A and B are shown apart, each in its own frame.
Chain A
Amino acid sequence: MPTCGFSVPMRAEIDGMIRKGMNRAQIIAFYRHKYGEKVLSAPTAEGFNLLAWTMPFIALVLGGGLMVLLVGRWRSNPPSAPSGSKPAGEPSSFDPELRRRLENELKERR
């Protein structure tokens, strides 16, 4: 932010360090020493912080594994009658005339 009291002087300071020939790693190390780890915009990839990076993917793999497991169980269920994908919930009073028209239309679309 242009009015930020922190970033404006910091940028000037970084400009100075670049002019002095410090490289990226050195500048980062300088700030890390000065302000602590908080100054880094993302966790480092070491120690406890590794958990930050890996956990989302571990969770995804676990979730995916659970899903595959469940799907495997569902697949072993015998499939119901081929015409209705939702046999139990089908409205009992579904109008036969509507059904006939629906089937005709479906046939025409093919």
Chain B
Amino acid sequence: MPQLGNLALAIALILAVYSIVANIYGMRRNAPDFVVSARHAIWSMCAMVTIAVVVLWVALLRSDFSLEYAASYSSSTLPTAYKITALWAGQQGSLLLWTWLLAIFTSVAAFQNRRRNPDTAPYALAVLAGVAIFFLWMLNFVTRPFDLLPAIPAEGSDLNPLLQNYWMAIHPPSLYIGYVSASVPFAFGAAALITGKLDDGWIRSTRRWAIFSWFFLTLGNLFGARWAYEVLGWGGYWAWDPVENAAFMPWLVMTAYLHSVMIQERKDMLKVWNLSLIGLAFGLTLFGTFITRSGVISSVHSFTQSGLGPYFLSFLIAVTVAYTALLIFRSKQLRSPAEFESYLSREAAFLFNNLILVGITFAVFWGTIFPVLSEAVRGVKITVGPPFFNRVNAPLALGLVFLTGIGPLIAWRRTTADNLVRSFAAPVAIGVATGIIGAACGLRQWYVLTAFSLAAFVMGTVLVEFRRGMNARRHLLAEPRAKALVNLVAKNNRRYGGYVIHVGVIVAFIGIVGSSFFRTEVKKSVHAGDSFTIGSYTLRFLGFSEVDTPHLASATARVEVLGPDGREITVMTPAKLFYIRAQQPATLVAIRSTPLNDLYVVLAGIDDSGQTATFEVFLTPLVFWLWAGGLLMVLGTVIVMWPNVRERAAIATVLSRSSSADRELADLAAPGGD
């Protein structure tokens, strides 16, 4: 079986090389047959990588420990679900997953563009195949997933206990989907540069890909945060670890990109900027893998570390140089007659939005690599941890939140003072009122007050927008309130879906501020029957129960939680686990989440007599809203991505009536072109 995997990966590599040759030859020599053949080669490549993935999965599921990978990341007692997720527990498997996703997305892009974008798509597919070649090369020659062990061990060394968790099962695939799907807009951008077709065709053709990528980057980051929160047992969810930063930076850049392309679509400017942003996003996905896998920067996430660094760095440099050269080569054609009327305009808000988002990206990047710089320049190892990132990014975050309120309401081109007052009077009043109420309730930290006021201001702007739209429908079309709301969103899904995403971001921001500023912590050793307090809760330790299985031994504490009135609210069950194969301890955190605060109980230790337990308890206000905001972002993105039936029908009607169908409209009508 493993031989089949090796063979499939070798053929996939050959097919990827062939598809590039065929695509370029077909375009240069005007031989469409070759372009078709290249497309088929891409699909076959995808089939081959799929075979390799299946082979590895089968080996994991059958506990075939002759395979080094299965022996290293699985065991016979590992639950089946985690045998499946073990595919991306190690380096070889992660790269295989990456390659697989890339092959799938390339195939989908090839299918979408089998008739569309005939001038540029073959080049975009060649770029994607070029990226695939790099990964297939790694899998074939550098970090091989199907290597065999000289002697078959009786048992595997099991999956790292930290990874035996639901969130860890879904976090890496989400992040990888986000990472890899960013390659598609990048490839079409590169194709635009290669062919000199520099209008916004590449943006329109890949808008859904960009949103798709952003969506999964969002999910990946949230799932990762959730995993850290539930599993690591330190009461927090984000520690500015290099790998977290590596996941966060592409998200920031994609967010900037999704906003700035709107200016190009509308005003035909910022071409170089948008091409640079998508290049940056793609480069950062490689950079992320580079810093995780190279060990250049130490990270708690480096579950798999090896000498892959130089390969990734070389590829990253090659891509950066080639792409920059293309940008310079086309710089004359990229110049466009930009016009700009006023700083009080939406385009200005978007420019500032981009400035701040890229500024945060740079700050995160700088903090991530600074330890390397310090060691190189001074020879001193230093740590750049959360205090640095929080302090540097906190003011930038406020600016961004402010712009979230301004951007959607301010007019394109320029805004009159009259307009400003009409749009912003109510939201500003809401924001100021929130600040005053906060201060009256005893909030004294200026940052928290400003953050909550700004958040309320943004909520106010969204409210004003929804009200305005609903009222228009109610008056013009005499629709009842609820129907007007549904139709408003359904018929302008991109716009109102975007507002829902904004609300999600703000809600998450409130959660982040609340949980960062007001977390309290208590550590107590207690006998069975004793109690202690945190905030308004009283916790009473009732006793232990122990369970042993061949896979896992556990000791679970029962802790009764009493509210301020002395009544029992719930019984929480934090536990200490011991994974037998891996010979590793772990903790199982108990969390009671309410909109007001999270009670987070960790069983930190048990004394030898088995009578005393040490608990670490965190009371974290508002953290609930971080996850709620994440859900809203998901909902908003679904609304944005929802196919707009009416819009398409209208375009189709226009197309059927006009003989000389405009290319732009044709693109709009085709699937995936919205």
Contact = CB atoms under 8 A, between A and B. Distances in A.
Interface of A: 1-3, 8, 36-43, 48-49, 51-53, 55-57, 59-60, 63-64, 67, 70-71, 73-75, 77-80, 85-86, 88-89, 91-95, 98, 108-109
Contacts of A78: 339
Interface string B177-202: 00000000000000000000001100
Contacts of A3: 233, 585-587
B547 interface: no
A42 B383 contact: yes
A31 B351 CA distance: 45
Contact of A93 (B233, B359, B660): B660
Given A2-B616, A42-B387, A48 B665 contact: no
B602 interface: yes
B662 A92 contact: yes
A80 B366 CA distance: 41
Contacts of A48: 374, 377-378
The A interface, classified by DSSP as helix, strand, loop or mixed, is helix
A71 B340 contact: yes
Contacts, number: 135
Please name the 9 residue pairs, one residue from A and one from B, whose CB atoms are nearest each other, closest first.
A56-B363, A74-B340, A41-B385, A42-B387, A2-B604, A42-B388, A91-B662, A60-B359, A74-B338
> Chain B interface: which size bin?
35 or more
A11 to B, nearest CB: 8
25 contacts: A3-B587, A37-B380, A39-B383, A41-B387, A42-B385, A42-B391, A52-B367, A52-B384, A55-B366, A59-B362, A60-B362, A63-B358, A63-B359, A71-B343, A71-B348, A71-B351, A77-B338, A77-B339, A80-B339, A89-B199, A89-B200, A89-B268, A93-B658, A93-B662, A98-B650
Contacts of B396: 60
Contacts of B351: 67, 71
B386 interface: yes
Interface in B223-252: 232-234
Nearest to A38: B381
Contact of B412 (A36, A40, A64, A85): A85
B420 interface: no
- Most A CB atoms within 10 A — which of B367, B377, B660? B367
Nearest to A39: B383
A2 B387 contact: no
B311 to A, nearest CB: 28
Contacts of B421: none
A2 B605 contact: yes
Given A49-B374, A85-B267, A64 B341 contact: no
A37 B381 contact: yes
Given A37-B380, A42-B384, A86 B266 contact: yes
Interface string B641-674: 0000000001000100110111011000000000
B571 to A, nearest CB: 20
B544 interface: no
B658 A95 contact: yes
A88 B199 CA distance: 11
A79 B664 contact: no
Contact of B388 (A43, A60, A71): A43
Given A56-B359, A56-B363, 17 more contacts: A3-B233, A3-B585, A36-B380, A41-B383, A42-B386, A48-B377, A49-B382, A56-B366, A60-B362, A67-B355, A74-B269, A77-B337, A78-B339, A91-B665, A93-B665, A94-B662, A108-B476
Contacts of B587: 1-3
A75 B662 CA distance: 31
A40 B385 CA distance: 8
B648 to A, nearest CB: 14
A37 B355 contact: no
Nearest to A78: B339
B553 interface: no
B392 interface: yes
B370 interface: yes
A38 B383 contact: yes
Nearest to A47: B378
Contacts of B362: 56, 59-60
Contacts of B650: 98
B355 A64 contact: yes
A48 B378 CA distance: 8
Contact of A63 (B269, B355, B387): B355
B529 to A, nearest CB: 22
A53 B511 CA distance: 26
Contacts of B341: 75, 79
Contacts of B200: 89
B603 interface: yes
B436 interface: no
B494 interface: no
- Most A CB atoms within 10 A — which of B339, B348, B378, B412? B339
A86 B340 contact: no
B527 interface: no
Contacts of B54: none
Nearest to B472: A109
Nearest to A56: B363
B519 interface: no
